[in-house]
Every structure is written in C-alpha cells, then in structure tokens.
Amino acid sequence: MEKGFLDKVCSIVGNDNVSVDEPMKKHTTFRIGGPADYYVTPHSGEEAAQVIKACREWKLPFYILGNGSNLLVSDKGFRGVIIQMFKNYSEVSVDGVCVTARAGALLSKIAKTALENNLTGLEFAAGIPGTLGGAVVMNAGAYGGEMKDVLEEVGVLSGEGEILRLKREELDLGYRTSVIARKGYIVLEAKMRLQEGKREAIASRMEELKEKRVSKQPLELPSAGSTFKRPEGNFAGKLIMEAGLRGFSVGDAQVSEKHCGFVVNKGGATALQVRELMQEVIRRVEETSGVTLEPEVKMLGEW
C-alpha cells in the first residue's frame, strides 16, 4: 500500500468512505471481479476532484464507477483506486419541467421522479440498469429514446480537475458516444428538460416497456446488459443466434438462451470465462456473417 495515500484520501472523504482490497464482485451487476486496492465513495464533485488529485500525486491509476452495470472486472482485480459515484452521489430534484440529478442517481429513480411530477420524456430510461453518469457518457438509449433527446446541460470534471458546464450542443452525442467519453471527462450531474404529461399515460408506457424488457431479457441472471454494440444495419443478438451460439457456454459464462445479445453469469462464472466466451462469439459471428462485433461491456483490471 502506498505510504500516506490512505491517510490523505480518508482526510478528504472520511474513514467510512474508504476501503482497502474491496471485492469488485460486490459492485458489478455481473457479480464478478477481484479486489480493488482502494475503493472510495466521495459525496461531491469537489471531493472527487481532490481524490483524483491525490491519485495523480501518488501516481495511482483510478477508475470512476457508477453501479457497475456495464463492466467486467478481471479476476485479479484492479491495481489502483475505484472512485464510486453512486449511493453517496444520487440526489434528484425537479424545477418545473426540468429534472436535475447527480451522476450516481439510477436512471430508474430519475424516471420514477419524472412520473411523480407528471413529466414525460424519460419513459425509455425506466428499465435501464445504470446510473446517470454512465448513461450520459455513452448516450444510453432503449426503445426509441436516447439521453440526447432530454439532456439540457451536463456538469463535468475535466482531467485538470476543473468543473465545466457543457450545453446540449457541446455534448456531441452519438450512438453510444459523446464528447465526454472522448475527452475523458467525469460526469458530476445533468439537467434534463422534459415535457408536461398525464401520469396515467406515462405510467402505462413505463409498464409496457417493463413488460417488453422482462419478456425478452434475462433479468433473472447477473449480466452486464447488452454485451456487444449494435452493428450498423443489424442486431448483435440476431447474428449470434444465427451463428448457432444460443446457450453456448464457457464454464458458468453463457450466451443467454432468452436473448443472445446478453452474456450471463449462471452462478460461478469468472471474468476470464466471460472474456473467452466473448472472444469466441466474435470469432464465430465473423466467420458466419462477416460482421465483427464490438464489445459494449468495458473491461477493467489485469488480464
């Protein structure tokens, strides 16, 4: 352990918000991952900036984590600092037709707040299992809606530790990308502009999308959501199914029998098994269709 670093970070966020050798399987929706050297949960953008400054001072790698819904952490873990902007950083507020939320707020919580205030526009996000921060970075979307449809302004932390406010037109939001992703900014909060609507209609649409999700996706098993990005003009799940890979397994890692676009953990899957399965899926799909699938799941740690 780096001398002085632990004391420094504890002085910034408090002893209760720092742990050492923290198992990452407790913090990813895959329920997979070895220990992180340090695990820190700041309460504010200012605290996060100070923690990052300390990481740079001690030359320690760091990774910003939400609820771990799009992440595969290696079995060996992460040699560095995980900064989790989630439970301590999840307030949501409403002002007229605008909803402002901090980066750690779950999309489901934000959508529920919109419903309670008779605001429409976030129905698509109600079932996405991630936090606002990750959703903004990758312009998350589902069922015809995307974050770019509602975002008004985003507060970010730059690599130099400066807090910036980016307007909608500065975000350059595209399919699973943004200026935030390209420049390595860290999302602190976002303001979304919605529209007035009728609560019954909003609730009905959310329920309809929830039923679609439950019927088509393997929500009963740990996964990281859609494993591969959607290839242009096609669907990853369809190509995987056509390659004969429905139910294909490596150990306890499996291509879901319910939806081939998902890799699931049947209980004891290792990160290495998931990675090997993904590599085989990419190889077989390319062999059968000529399409090279690109992982949507981020990989972190030593491989």
Of the ranges 23-37, 43-57, 214-228, which is most confident?
23-37
Q: What is the reported pLDDT for 211?
A: 87
Q: Are residues 53 and 155 in the same domain?
A: no
Instruction: Locate 197 and state its tokens.
Output: 């609507």
Which amino acid, 16? D
Q: 3-state SS string over the chain?
A: CCCCHHHHHHHHHCHHHEEEEEEHHHCCCCCCCCEEEEEECCCCHHHHHHHHHHHHHCCCCEEEECCCCCEEECCCCEEEEEEECCCCCCCEEEECCEEEEECCCEHHHHHHHHHHCCEECCHHHCCCCCEHHHHHHCCCEECCEEHHHCEEEEEEECCCCCEEEEEHHHCCCECCECHHHHHCCEEEEEEEECEECCHHHHHHHHHHHHHHHHHHCCCCCCEEEECECCCCCCCHHHHHHHCCCCCCEECCEEECCCCCCEEEECCCCCHHHHHHHHHHHHHHHHHHHCCCCCECCEEECCC
In a domain, 212, yes or no: no
Q: Are residues 233 and 198 in the same domain?
A: no
CA pair distance 285, 291, nearest whole angstrom = 7
Q: Are residues 173 and 248 in the same domain?
A: no
CA pair distance 36, 82, nearest whole angstrom = 7
pLDDT in tens, 224-269: 989 999 999 999 999 999 999 999 999 999 999 999 999 999 999 9
In a domain, 213, yes or no: no
Note the pTM of the prediction, 2 decimals: 0.87
Q: Are residues 68 and 10 in the same domain?
A: yes
Q: Do the Cβ atoms of 186 and 208 come closer than 8 Å?
A: no
Q: Are residues 201 and 226 in the same domain?
A: no
The arithmetic mean of pLDDT across residues 156-173, rounded, is 89
pLDDT above 70: residue 280: yes
CA pair distance 261, 294, nearest whole angstrom = 12
pLDDT above 90: residue 187: yes
Domain boundary pick from 84, 110, 140: 84
User: Hey, CA dihedral for 100, 106, 107, 112, is it positive or negative?
Assistant: negative
Domain boundary pick from 205, 231, 261: 205
Q: What is the share, in percent, of the chain residues with pLDDT greater than 90?
A: 81
Residues involved in catalysis = 176, 226, 296
Q: Are residues 226 and 151 in the same domain?
A: no
Q: What is the reported pLDDT for 1?
A: 63
Domain boundary pick from 205, 239, 271: 205
The arithmetic mean of pLDDT across residues 217-225, rounded, is 92
pLDDT in tens, 92-148: 999 999 999 999 999 999 999 999 999 999 999 988 888 999 999 989 888 889 999
pLDDT band at 193 (very low <50, low <70, confident <90, very high): very high
Q: Are residues 159 and 237 in the same domain?
A: no
Overall domain count for the chain: 3
Range of the domain at 59: 5-84
